[in-house]
Amino acid sequence: MNMDAFSLKNKIAWVTGGSYGIGFAIAEALASAGATIVFNDIRQELVEKGLAAYAEKGIAARGYVCDVTDENAVQALVAKVQKEVGVIDILVNNAGIIKRIPMTEMSAEDFRKVVDVDLNAPFICAKAVIPAMIEKGHGKIINICSMMSELGRETVSAYAAAKGGLKMLTRNICSEYGEYNIQCNGIGPGYIETPQTAPLRERQPDGSRHPFDQFIVAKTPAARWGTTDDLQGPAVFLASDASNFVNGHVLYVDGGILAYIGKQP
């Protein structure tokens, strides 16, 4: 097998919400495989922070301020990137939020906000890049799903509904655009150490580990939280020609959580 299949040389990758966290790690990996990195974030200071972080890694990324829930802003961003950098070959729908509120206490407005960022925005961004991918004859879309694409848990109703929908949007983009050599797959990270999960790992006042931290470690065959590094290889695979016959799939990078009933107490 020719390992060049994993190369992303001459490819342009757009990672939404890529200033830090999982998006940044995935962008770093795609850059290591040769891709030119474009990222956006919702605030200028975050874009600046991201640019500095990429520069520290020797990556000449392009950063733009854009709220991925704003279709006009996304369309304008894609046109600007196309003019300044080139046609986007790889889209990573990474930007996401979570609100942990018991469902009966969650406002409809909060529910809508989570669905807007975690499901509507991936639709908006994919819709914006697909026409040029069709014209170019290829494209890769990677949707960052979640354990909650498969499982529910208390307080994350909006997030689980959105991430479950994102799994089906992934399958539908595959179904509708596979004939144009566009592969749309998901990555389903397990529990990963990022700012988004920091509240679930906070040390207790007595110095003990957070109960949820202990729960997740017990639920994970790997007996640890994931790190953003764990997602880098899977992302390069799904962004590269090595996965040209993989479509509509969600690759769970979860240390085995989904396979495991859990350790007997």
Among 42, 85, 84, 91, residue whose Cα is nearest residue 65: 42
Q: Which does 68 bind (CB under 5 to 8 A by kind): ligand GCO, ligand NAP, none?
A: ligand NAP
Where are the alpha helices (H) located in 137-228, listed in sequence order? 157-177, 211-219
Half-sphere exposure at residue 90, Cβ-oriented, CA atoms within 13 angstroms = 34
- Could you tell me the two tokens for 213? 């931290």
> Binding to ligand GCO by residue 98, rule CB under 6 A?
yes
Identify residue 58 by its one-letter amino acid code.
G
Phi first, then psi: give them for residue 38, nearest 5 degrees: -120, 135
Catalytic residue among 159, 177, 191, 252: 159
Site for ligand GCO in 115-154 (CB under 6 A): 146-148, 153
Are 88 and 133 in contact, with CB atoms under 8 Å apart? yes
CB of 105 to ligand GCO, least distance (A): 16
Q: Which does 250 bind (CB under 5 to 8 A by kind): ligand NAP, ligand GCO, none?
A: none
> Binding to ligand NAP by residue 232, rule CB under 6 A?
no
Give the residue, chosen from 195, 205, 207, 265, that forms a contact with ligand NAP under the rule CB under 6 A. Answer: 195
CB of 178 to ligand NAP, least distance (A): 24
Give the residue, chosen from 12, 29, 37, 46, that forms a contact with ligand NAP under the rule CB under 6 A. Answer: 46
Choose between 146 and 243: whose C-beta lies nearer to ligand GCO.
146
Tell me whether residue 252 is one of the annotated catalytic residues.
no
Half-sphere exposure at residue 71, Cβ-oriented, CA atoms within 13 angstroms = 8
Tell me the sheet residues that pair with 65: 41
Residue numbers at the binding site for ligand GCO (CB under 6 A): 98, 100, 146-148, 153, 156, 159, 189-191, 196-197, 200
